[in-house]
Copies of this chain bind each other. A is one copy, B any other.
């Protein structure tokens, strides 16, 4: 496909994606409570032609160690994702805004409403990152749910998404007449009940929010377990993923595209976007220096605690941190990430603290430290090798890390013919070249899955 172009997203975050970014002289240590910080980041990305500003979220403080918690600025980045998405969407006009919300601790009717409302607020630029909330610290903040087992969480997620889609489709936009003369606002078939009664949810419908100009928000997914990939293949438009290198990225990409094909749907309409943690320098030495400056700011308590969380809430307190990673109990919570990290430790021969520091920066995402040419070249490699349809950028620091990428790397991507800001698209669905959901067809597709 000659005209295939890179999709670019930025992941909004407090002082930066490097865990010690808040200590860096160039960042603001109060970014995590400063909505203007998020708005500035999103506007800069919009200005550069990015497709997506992404907002992650968590329903608790994911921290095993108090000493570590006291040394970071990121508890669910300080804001709740849907309200922050509304603020960012209000302050921008073109960029898509994808916000995270959990299927384990919400009701479909509430989330369907909030997302549809966001889609109106943004004039068709919203996406929903579907997560199942894996942490014990999240579960404890809510009334018990029947089961928090990995399989049950994904079964619940699947029914949740189906219910939300049905609610979004409970309106027929063509029958909204608004006829002042006759007094008829809605035609007789403008809305219909949903009458959902499943294992996890009940919802009669219809929704009381009208569809936006992109029909409904696009769906994103970041689960990388088997169940996560199955859900993504069945329902997602966009997949975010953390892949440490090209080989892993390609395997993941091919797996997902094949699963989508097996659903009888076009794999072009499932965009796989790995994360990239870019450290840009005018020379490689300058880039390495910049990285070293950040790494030097990492406090060991923080790195170790992060590693514990990323390994699935294991307890490393008795472990020799200068020795190799011990065998771990298979975690119910973040299965796939555990596999990636143990693989990385083995591959690079890292000690526990070495692995902790190694991932504390990029958190298992693909890390590239080099000149803008280096970075653009490697992005091209991933794109052409079938490992990525685009990338989610995790700037090490805000605003400089993002500004560097925009100023130095984006023009090279454009120059290489890989990237071209779409100035005609009005909705996120158009911007991502995704088809409009065919109401009846998508229903059939989902049912057959």
Q: How many residues of A contact B (CB 8 A)?
A: 76
Residues of B within 8 A of A186 (CB): 69-70
Question: In the bound complex, how far is the Cα of B70 from the Cα of A79, in angstroms?
Answer: 38
Question: In the bound complex, how far is the Cα of B247 from the Cα of A303, in angstroms?
Answer: 66
Partner of A210, one of B29, B33, B84, B120: B33
Q: Which of A106-114, A308-316, A409-417 contacts B (4 or more CB under 8 A)?
A: A106-114
Contact (A109, B141) CB under 8 Å given A22-B180, A58-B208, A60-B208: yes
Question: In the bound complex, how far is the Cα of B180 from the Cα of A212, in angstroms?
Answer: 44
Shortest Cβ gap from A360 to chain B (Å): 13
For A137, the closest partner residue in chain B by CB is B204
Partner of A121, one of B72, B87, B142, B203: B87
Contact A141 B90 (CB under 8 A): no
Contact B32 A114 (CB under 8 A): no
Residues of B within 8 A of A110 (CB): 59, 105-106
Interface residues of A in 174-196 (CB under 8 A from B): 178, 180, 183-188, 190-191
Contact B121 A79 (CB under 8 A): yes
Residues of B within 8 A of A87 (CB): 86-87, 89-90, 121
For A123, the closest partner residue in chain B by CB is B35
Interface residues of A in 345-364 (CB under 8 A from B): none
A202 at the interface (CB under 8 A from B): yes
Contact A117 B83 (CB under 8 A): yes
Residues of B within 8 A of A3 (CB): none
A327 at the interface (CB under 8 A from B): no
Contact A120 B86 (CB under 8 A): no
Contact B29 A185 (CB under 8 A): yes
**6 nearest interchain CB pairs?**
A86-B86, A80-B117, A75-B208, A140-B204, A29-B178, A90-B90
Interface residues of A (CB under 8 A from B): 22-25, 29-30, 32-33, 35, 39, 58-61, 66, 69-73, 75-76, 78-80, 82-87, 89-91, 105-107, 109-110, 113-114, 116-118, 120-121, 123, 137, 140-144, 178, 180, 183-188, 190-191, 200-206, 208-210, 212, 297, 299
Q: What are 25 of the A-B contact pairs (CB < 8 Å)?
A: A25-B180, A29-B178, A33-B212, A59-B109, A59-B113, A60-B204, A60-B208, A70-B186, A70-B187, A71-B185, A76-B113, A78-B120, A79-B121, A82-B83, A83-B85, A83-B114, A83-B117, A83-B118, A86-B87, A87-B89, A105-B109, A109-B141, A142-B202, A143-B200, A183-B297
